[in-house]
Amino acid sequence: MTSTSSPQAQPLIVDSVGMTYGVGADAHEVLRDLDVRVDPGEFVCIVGPSGAGKTTLLRILSGLLRPTAGSVSFGSETVTEPRAEIAVVFQDYRGSLMPWMRVRDNVAFPLESLGVGRSERRQRADDALAQVGLEEVGEKYPWQLSGGMQQRVAIARGIAYRAPILLMDEPFGSVDAQSRFELEDLALRLRRELELTVIVVTHDIDEAVYLSDRVIVVAGRPTHVIDDRVIDLGPDRDQMTTRALPRFAELRTTILAEIRGQGRTAETDPTSGADDPAREMSV
Ligand SMILES: Nc1ncnc2c1ncn2[C@@H]1O[C@H](COP(=O)(O)OP(=O)(O)OP(=O)(O)O)[C@@H](O)[C@H]1O
Ligand SMILES: [Mg+2]
């Protein structure tokens, strides 16, 4: 590997990816023919209705799940298994933090699989907890923390990997509105300070517009990319002023209309069995 192709400088490329669960009469085609490119340093949100296959796509991006068609590549390499360059924060932090382990151990534990030694695991865990503002809670257990704090622990575990790419699945879905805003700003700060590439899956259009350099809209049956839209709101976001911009409202309305358009298609298709996906969307 040359100095111009460091892991940090590689794009993540989804090429004609499809995913069908099951076989024969039980086959369920969830994703069809997705093409996505995420460049180093980008903050990209993938937005789509509940059940569209967002978690499926994230699992494919992370190498946890092999697509049944197409491929994912990181630079010149095909992603076929979890990689040290790609960290994942899963959808349900309550299910992913281990209640019998102290917070520090929860953050440090996955580093064992990367072959990181004991003292460095501890150091990285403490650094990551400090980066999310939780330097005081390493000795506590997850259940002693609020939901928002637990989610910070889950994010700390992701960044302790020191991976250039951070994937997050509905990371702020289970916390109150105020904590959600704080976590969104935390994600933006970490991306800037650690120079991360961040990909967030969410069903919340406003959150996607607020966070992103680019929003990828997925919908349809089977799910495919219906839009890949640059969010031209500038690099600095603020919960009050950015959300109040006319351009913010325009972008969210455009994206919602796109998903509603898909909803009408599904409603008129008697084989789809679909409800209007827009009903699932946060507005
Ligand atoms: N392991 C699996 N085996 C079979 N079907 C699955 C599996 N995982 C997901 N599915 C199906 O694939 C579809 C997409 O699921 P997925 O969890 O990826 O959607 P999602 O967009 O993340 O949904 P949500 O917004 O509710 O999190 C659903 O119909 C789901 O039932
Ligand atoms: Mg999901």
Strands, E, within 101-174: which ranges?
Answer: 165-169
Residue 135 lies in a domain: yes
How many domains does the structure of the chain reveal? Answer: 1
Check whether 152 has a pLDDT greater than 80. yes
Residue 119 lies in a domain: yes
Report the 10 Å Cβ neighbour count for 232.
9
Record the pTM.
Answer: 0.90
Assigned token pair, 255: 């994206």
Residue 76 lies in a domain: no
The amino acid at 86: I
Q: Choose among 185, 193, 184: nearest CA to 159.
A: 193
Instruction: Tell me if 49 CB under 6 Å of ligand 1.
Output: no
Give nearest CA residue, ligand 1 atom 28: 51
Assigned token pair, 259: 């998903």
Q: Looking at residue 262, what is its pLDDT?
A: 67
Check whether 3 has a pLDDT greater than 50. no
Write the DSSP symbol of residue 223: B
Segment 28-57, tens digit of pLDDT: 999 999 999 999 999 999 999 989 999 999
Residue 207 lies in a domain: no
Pairing of strands 43-47, 197-202: parallel
Residue 118 lies in a domain: yes
> Sheet containing 69-74: which strands, arranged edge to edge?
28-38, 12-21, 69-74, 77-78
Domain range enclosing 135: 86-162
Residue 192 backbone dihedrals phi, psi, to 5 degrees: -70, -50
Give nearest CA residue, ligand 1 atom 29: 51
Segment 93-132, tens digit of pLDDT: 667 899 999 999 999 998 998 899 999 999 999 999 999 9
Segment 210-259, tens digit of pLDDT: 999 999 999 999 999 999 999 999 999 999 999 999 999 999 999 999 98
Burial grade of 11 (CB within 10 A; 0-12, 13-18, 19 or more) = middle
**Tokens 């940090």 identify what position?**
8
Instruction: Tell me if 61 CB under 6 Å of ligand 1.
Output: no
Q: Looking at residue 91, what is its pLDDT?
A: 77
Q: Which atom of ligand 1 is nearest to the CA of 91?
A: 27
Instruction: Tell me if 30 CB under 6 Å of ligand 1.
Output: yes
**Tokens 């460091």 identify what position?**
6
Residue 259 lies in a domain: no
Residue 115 lies in a domain: yes
Residue 114 lies in a domain: yes
